[in-house]
Amino acid sequence: MTSQVVLITGALAGIGRATAFAFARDHASLVVSGRNKDTGQALAAELRDLGTQAEFIQADVRHEDEVRALVDQTVTRFGRLDVAVNNAGTEGRIGPLVEQTIENYTATFDTNVLGVLLSLKHQLRIMLPQGHGNIVNVSSVAGSVGFPGAAVYVASKHAVEGLTRSAALEAAKSGVRVNAIAPGPIVTAMLDRFTGGSEAGKSFMTSLVPAGRLGNVEEVAQAILFLASDKAPFITGQSLAIDGGTLAG
Ligand SMILES: NC(=O)c1ccc[n+]([C@@H]2O[C@H](COP(=O)([O-])OP(=O)(O)OC[C@H]3O[C@@H](n4cnc5c(N)ncnc54)[C@H](O)[C@@H]3O)[C@@H](O)[C@H]2O)c1
């Protein structure tokens, strides 16, 4: 990844943060993006301490003007955009379908679906004329199967799978690849919120994983790095599960 220009949304915590460090250790130049300026600037400083170039650009992926500015400022700063990781996501309000609200639907879809759509739109605006680029969308195993109590999140991640395939087909002849990763349960703050943070909740999630354990953020970051690298030149439009066998069952 030496001298590759990499943009990561939702980079300030969890999978996004671990992915930023994985790219930095591989000598990429990074733009880390998120909503909190202080956390973002501290993260960029930590990444620069590793000897790589890193900038924080504030952006909420729900707002097109912010996504457009994020991409444009990345190109202004580094001259091009080689890799984009569309990681920003929310689990929304977990609960039975009959209790779901329009507010939760809108909040979840605005980040998980509109956010990925806007990110793809503005990243491809740069990458297609460049004639090269790699995009990795962070989907979920919930993009392929149902999950009781998470209908809205599940529907939003199914949409991410559809956006990934359609974008990959539109870009296929241009030298731009678009893939997704589909994590199973990974130890992050999101998983804690999803399970209520209880041991019983974690045990239940673990029981869904054939490998018998939860995943960690480094395992997800390495899969993203692989898909974005020149080790995967003929892979596009795919969703790679990082799930200890969950989707195989
Ligand atoms: N942790 C898991 O078990 C798991 C499993 C499958 C998929 N995922 C997906 O992985 C991605 C990262 O999740 P995580 O577990 O690291 O969660 P996390 O909550 O630790 O991190 C998500 C990050 O995205 C940011 N974010 C949320 N909404 C945003 C918005 N509108 N604009 C910009 N940033 C925003 C958050 O502030 C946070 O920094 C998400 O897309 C999530 O759906 C997570």
DSSP 85-151: EE--------S-GGG--HHHHHHHHIIIIIHHHHHHHHHHHHHHHHT-EEEEEE--GGGTS--TT-H
Q: Could you tell me if residue 64 is inside a domain? A: yes
Q: Flag whether the pTM goes above 0.95.
A: yes
Give the mutation target among 90, 160, 218 for probing the ligand 1 site: most ligand atoms within 8 A of CB: 90
Domain span at 34:
5-183+223-240
Atom of ligand 1 nearest to the CA of 153: 43
Amino acid 120: pLDDT:
98
Residue 193 has pLDDT above 90, yes or no: yes
- Per the domain annotation, does 47 fall within a domain? yes
**Catalytic site residue 153?**
yes
Kindly report the average pLDDT of the chain as a whole number: 97
Residues with CB under 6 A from ligand 1: 9-10, 12-16, 34-35, 60-62, 87-90, 111, 115, 138, 140, 183, 185-186, 188-191
Contact 24, 6 (CB under 8 A): no
pLDDT at 1 over 90: no
The CA 96 to ligand 1 mean position distance, Å, reads 21
In 3D space, the residue among 94, 119, 106, 153 whose CA is nearest the CA of residue 10 turns out to be 119
CA of 89 to the centre of ligand 1 (A): 4
Residue 144, classified by CB atoms within 10 Å of its CB into exposed (0-12), middle (13-18) or buried (19+), is middle
* Position 213 confidence tier, pLDDT thresholds 50, 70, 90: very high
Beta bridge partners of 42: none
Q: Tell me, what's the pLDDT at 146?
A: 97
Is residue 197 assigned to a domain?
no
- Indicate the pLDDT class of residue 2, thresholds 50, 70 and 90: confident
d(CA 164, CA 153): 17
- For ligand 1, the distance from its centroid to the CA atom of residue 207, given in whole angstroms, is 22
| Ligand 1, atom 41, residue with closest C-alpha | 89
Q: Which atom of ligand 1 is nearest to the CA of 36?
A: 37
Q: Could you report the per-residue pLDDT of 163-183, keeping only the tens digit for each? A: 999 999 999 999 999 999 999
Tell which atom from ligand 1 comes closest to the C-alpha of 194.
Answer: 3
Among 153, 179, 202, 243, the active-site one is 153
User: If you average pLDDT over residues 44-70, what whole number do you get?
Assistant: 98
In a domain, 213, yes or no: no
User: Which amino acid residue places its CA nearest to atom 23 of ligand 1?
Assistant: 10
What average pLDDT score do residues 36-48 get? 98
Give the confidence band of 38 by pLDDT, cuts at 50, 70, 90: very high
CA 86 / ligand 1 centre spacing (Å): 10
CATH number for position 179: 3.40.50.720
Examine residue 204 and state whether it is found in any structural domain, yes or no. Answer: no
Is the model's pLDDT at 249 over the cut of 90? Answer: no
- Is 85 a domain residue? yes
Number of domains forming the structure of the chain: 1
State mean pLDDT over 195-217. Answer: 94
245 in a domain, yes or no? no
Q: What is the number of the ligand 1 atom nearest to the C-alpha of 16?
A: 16
Residue 135 in any domain: the answer is yes
Tell me how far apart the alpha carbons of residues 28 and 12 are, in angstroms, rounded to a whole number. Answer: 17
pLDDT at 147: 95
C-alpha of residue 135 to centroid of ligand 1, in Å: 17
